[in-house]
Amino acid sequence: MPSSCPAYRARLIGWGGYLPEPTFTNAQLAEAYQIETDDDWIVQRTGIRQRHLAPAGQVTSDLATAAAQQALAVAGLQANDIQLIIVATTTPDQTFPATAVHVQRKLGNQLAIAFDVQAVCSGFVYALSVADQFIRSGQVRNALVIGAETLSRLLDWQNRTTAILFGDGAGAVVLQAEPLMESTDSGSSNLSQPGIISTHLYANGQYADLLYTDGGASSTQTVGTLQMNGREVFRLAVEKLQEMLQTVLATHNLKGTDIDWLVPHQANIRIIQAMQQKLALPDSQIIVTIDQHANTSAASIPLALNVGLRDGRIKNGDLVLLEAMGGGFTWGAALIRV
């Protein structure tokens, strides 16, 4: 085997999710925050019916820790079995230290390295890719990768085009190194061995002013509120994500219908449907949570993955494609054999 070939594959051995209470239906949100909107508009344009919002005092690391504890239980591991903790978040507890070290402390882990990844809604796919590199290279045996957000804390409740879109939550996975087996496939990517087959990351800072917060530690010394040019974000998301799916399929010489499950970032049901069309997959092979969770940014993919695995729809051996796009722009995908 050439030395550049990875020696290990990162296998998905645990998953968990946490959604804070209370939930707000569209009508309850409109009433609570005095937003001039209606349920029909929100459902038709976005697919969202309700969202969970963290109560005052509950911070991102609380959500992340609860999701991580579930993922550790599924994996059958103790906190100190973990050597790497990555939290993907745009809503850290503090500017520093990283939310990941708060999670480490709350879990009672003393051995891991811990840091955050900031790639907004693509954060979980970015974090998964980073953890995958640590595992492939043999530096880490067990990694905890978490997407966690209290995105409601960045919302301008006077702005109805953004206030209705987001929710809070956390999802987590545990990855474990397994020796890479010799491929029995005709191609070189070993599609049959369980674990992360490939990750595909992209960024283009030219689009930074389409989705951002109007604050930051070094500019305003405040966190700011979320600002978005929704129409442009929508148009570019469909274009860039469809291009990326084409690349992922071509890389492995796959057809869209070879994918068992699409677990997309949950930003807008119409964006999800555009990806579904690209892959020619039926509704029954897409995990959709946007109606229940709204857009939870970096948490949306691990939360959706957790739902699909827990309810038994996603089974051992299934080929799962994750994809996301977020502020930056950043976007990315991961192909996983469960």
**Catalytically annotated residues:** 121, 265, 295
Cβ-based neighbour number of residue 42 at 10 Å: 23
Q: What are the distances in angstroms from CA 280 to CA 270, 329, 335? A: 15, 26, 17
* 255: Cα separation from own chain's centroid: 24
CB of 247 to ligand UT7, least distance (A): 20
Residue 41 lies near ligand UT7 (rule: CB under 6 A): yes
235 touching ligand UT7, by CB under 6 A: no
With contacts defined by CB under 6 A, name the span among 9-17, 157-165, 173-181, 183-191 that binds ligand UT7: 157-165
Residues 309-338, interacting with ligand UT7 (CB under 6 A): 326
- Closest among 101, 133, 132, 91 to 295, alpha carbons compared: 91
Is residue 125 close enough to count as binding ligand UT7 by CB under 6 A? no
Residue 241 interacts with ligand UT7 (CB under 6 A): yes or no:
no
Q: Does residue 234 bind ligand UT7 (CB under 6 A)? A: yes
Number of helices (H), then strands (E), in the chain: 10, 13
- The correct pick among 161, 189, 251, 273 for binding ligand UT7 (CB under 6 A) is 161
Tokens 């994996």 belong to 75
Contact 327, 166 (CB under 8 A): no
CB of 325 to ligand UT7, least distance (A): 6
Q: How many Cβ atoms are within 10 Å of 263's Cβ, its own excluded?
A: 28
Tokens of 70: 């579930």
- Give the residue with the Cβ less far from ligand UT7, 42 or 144: 42
Rounded Cα gap, residues 309 and 106, in angstroms: 25
Rule CB under 6 A: is residue 271 a binding residue for ligand UT7? yes
- Does 289 interact with ligand UT7 (rule: CB under 6 A)? no
Q: Select the residue interacting with ligand UT7 from 63, 154, 267, 336 (CB under 6 A).
A: 267
Query: How would you class 319 by CB atoms within 10 Å of its CB: exposed for 0-12, middle for 13-18, buried for 19 or more?
Result: middle
By CB under 6 A, how many residues form the interface with ligand UT7?
19
User: According to the binding rule CB under 6 A, does residue 233 interact with ligand UT7?
Assistant: yes
Indicate whether 237 belongs to the interface with ligand UT7 (CB under 6 A).
yes
- Under the binding rule (CB under 6 A), the answer on residue 231 touching ligand UT7 is yes
CA angle 80, 82, 87 (to 5 degrees): 120
Q: In the bound complex, what is the minimum distance in angstroms from residue 278's beta carbon to ligand UT7? A: 16
Query: ∠ CA 174-146-136 to the nearest 5 degrees?
Result: 50
Q: Is 159 in the site for ligand UT7 (CB under 6 A)?
A: no
Instruction: Kindly give, in sequence order, each residue whose CB lies less than 8 Å from that of residue 169, ignoring residues fewer than 6 positions away.
Output: 17, 18, 19, 20, 52, 63, 148, 149, 293, 296, 299, 300, 303
Q: Per CB under 6 A, does 230 bind ligand UT7?
A: yes
| Residue 47 near ligand UT7 by CB under 6 A | no
Closest separation between CB of residue 298 and ligand UT7, Å? 10
Q: How far is the CB of 68 from ligand UT7 (least distance, A)?
A: 23
Q: Interface residues with ligand UT7 (CB under 6 A)?
A: 37, 41-42, 45-46, 121, 160-161, 164, 230-231, 233-234, 237, 267-268, 271, 295, 326
